[in-house]
Amino acid sequence: MFKFTFPTSGVTTWLWLPLGVAFLLAFFGAMAGVTGAFLLLPFQMSVLGYTAAGVSATNFVYNVFAIPGTVISYGRQGRLNWPLAVTITAGSLPGIVIGYRLRLTYLTDPRYFKPFVGLVLLYLSWLVARSLMGRGKAREISAPPPWARITGMGFGLTRMSFDFDGESYRFDPRPLFLVALVVGVAGGAYGIGGGAILAPFCLSVLSLPVHTIAGASLFGTLISSLVGVLVYTIGGLGGAESRPDFLLGSLFGIGGMIGGYLGARSQKYVAQRPIKVGLLLVLLIVASRYLLTFIFS
């Protein structure tokens, strides 16, 4: 009952399943600055059986629907970090096109694409674990005041800065730009826009608090996803196989839109540490599953 077959992807499933899965992923992912698309791809491949190149493009469609409300919510709360958002976006965009070509040239067979996904998730796990073992643990025990805002934002080619919750933060945008460029390639192939990798990078390497990076990471993911949808739809390299399933992606997106907005509203009441621990556990479980399946197959 209520089962539907999506004509583009050929997926047959209950209509409530994409909505519910996307809602949960976006609700918890929005707190950490990710949309949950990095977990939505394994769900589509393993549970729904969608393994064509268009599965990456469908992930981008999900992002386009799910992210705007979340970004607007962070902006209204004064927690949209523009120096970080500009750097992430500028670095990620060029890599999307390269990642698209990589997906259609070398990662078309799901037997080889799945271990690639597993390695990306394993790298994410390492970054998050590193941030949990690093300095600044005391500030992660409790959430910042709900009224805390990002202020004093400074822009420059060699230094960007901002203030949050009584602390000043500085970072060099050049290394972040280069990392975002490389990550954009993986994001273009994976269908995640790159933000899901850059959020853990900002937490661990730049030592920025999660409450200041979530909105910026999601903003960069939104812009990259818009470009990703265009590239996969009109790029022409993969033909019909590379085009997104707009209907399925939109259904995911509606669930993600609601979950992401509520997650952004709830984040200010949650401390950093439980957000990071939850993200780490999910990353490790999914990465292990894909890598072990590839090794023993």
Amino acid 142: pLDDT: 60
Amino acid 19: pLDDT: 93
Average pLDDT for the chain: 81
141: confidence class by pLDDT, cuts 50, 70, 90: low
Average pLDDT over residues 93-111: 72
**pLDDT digit string, tens, across residues 16-52:** 999 999 999 889 888 877 777 778 888 898 889 888 8
Both tokens assigned to 61:
């469609």
Contact (CB, 8 A) for 56 and 96: no
Q: Considering only residues 52 and 190, tell me which one the structure prediction assigns the higher pLDDT.
A: 52
Answer yes or no: is pLDDT of 241 > 70.
no
Q: Other CB atoms closer than 10 Å to residue 127's CB: what's the count?
A: 20
**pLDDT digit string, tens, across residues 156-170:** 888 999 999 888 999
Both tokens assigned to 47:
């549970």
**pLDDT digit string, tens, across residues 53-88:** 788 789 889 989 888 988 998 899 888 999 999 998
Rg of the Cα atoms in the chain:
18
Contact (CB, 8 A) for 184 and 224: yes
Beta bridge partners of 161: 154, 170
Average pLDDT over residues 246-254: 93
**pLDDT digit string, tens, across residues 254-283:** 999 999 889 888 887 887 778 778 778 877
* Percent over 90 (pLDDT), the chain: 17
Average pLDDT over residues 166-195: 81
* Dihedral, 207, 209, 212, 216 alpha carbons, nearest 10: 50
Among 104-113, 178-187, 265-274, name the one with the lowest average pLDDT.
Answer: 104-113
Average pLDDT over residues 125-132: 77
Answer yes or no: is pLDDT of 128 > 90.
no
Amino acid 17: pLDDT: 93
Amino acid 18: pLDDT: 92
**What residue segments make up the domains of the chain, in order of their start?**
11-142+151-296
Amino acid 138: pLDDT: 46
Answer yes or no: is pLDDT of 240 > 60.
no
Cα gap 96→193, rounded to integer Å:
8
Answer yes or no: is pLDDT of 97 > 50.
yes
Answer yes or no: is pLDDT of 1 > 60.
no
259 CB-contact burial (10 Å; exposed 0-12 / middle 13-18 / buried 19+)? buried
